Amino acid sequence: MEKPHDREFVNAVARALAILHSFDGAEAVLGNHQIAARTGLAKSTIARLTHTLLRTGHLARVRHGDGYRLGIGALTFASTALRGLELRRVIRGCLAEVAALVSGTIGLAARDGLEMVYLDYARAAHVLSLHSTIGSRVPLAETAAGRAWIIAQPQAAQENLLASLTARDAAAGRALSAWLDDYRDLFARDGYVISCGAWNPYINGVGVPVFFPAYGATMVLVAGVLAAEYDRERLAREVAPLLRDLATRLACLEDQAK
């Protein structure tokens, strides 16, 4: 967990949020030992915070076991945040339209720490082998979604992020730094990134960053496809233009909603 040098920063709140974030959907039930391993927090701290989160309804104890799952209190955060995306229904329809044209998946993702989380998602009806969904998390450094988000940031922000990543995984930090050096000119020209097999050797992806002024945040439209069906050239020829057009449509929709 990152510890900013900020006198106004409340560590107890950050630690509680780190615990909630450790429930990533891939493993919905966690015990204190697993939470400690994922967050890096002391077991005594974990015990106090899970007890508090249990009392406030943000965690729920699993019946016939000593683990926890997210409680109703935590789940309402997600539903409230998604309701705050006023264009969500329209965005979902747009994602579905593009997914129908691509043998893969289309998602809208946002950064959370060193991961990207899917806020919305659509999959072509005939595609059964790609299993991400709303709330799924993917690595920031190795995926098309994460790389598109990073490369759209100012240079200073990129350097800060690289420092945080390198502190956690030196090899990943070096690989991302080299990729950024190689890709900046291409992104400036094309407005999208392509990532082939960097995260999963069977999946290739395209990412297009979109800035939403209403939320003061950059999000990423991302397509995931099977590498056996789409190589880099086909992604650039067939998928990237669809995502760029969709990004333009979403920007226009938000302007109309103001």
pLDDT tens, residue by residue, 157-205: 999 999 989 998 999 899 999 999 999 999 999 999 999 999 999 999 9
Question: Which of residues 46 and 136 earns the better pLDDT score?
Answer: 46
Q: How confident is the model over 23-39, as pLDDT tens digits? A: 865 457 899 999 999 89
Mean pLDDT, rounded, of the chain: 85
CA separation for the pair 162, 177 (Å, rounded): 7
Query: Is the CATH code 1.10.10.10 the one for domain 11-77?
Result: yes
Nearest partner of 182 among 198, 169, 168, judged by Cα: 198
Q: Grade residue 135 by pLDDT with cuts at 50, 70 and 90.
A: confident
Domain range list for the chain: 11-77, 85-257
Nearest partner of 151 among 108, 111, 91, 93, judged by Cα: 111
In the chain, DSSP assigns E strands to: 59-61, 68-70, 104-112, 115-123, 137-139, 193-196, 203-212, 217-226
Dmax (CA) for the chain in angstroms is: 57
Find the angle CA(244)-CA(249)-CA(255) to the nearest 5 degrees: 130
CA separation for the pair 196, 227 (Å, rounded): 7
Query: Is the CATH code 3.40.50.620 the one for domain 85-257?
Result: no
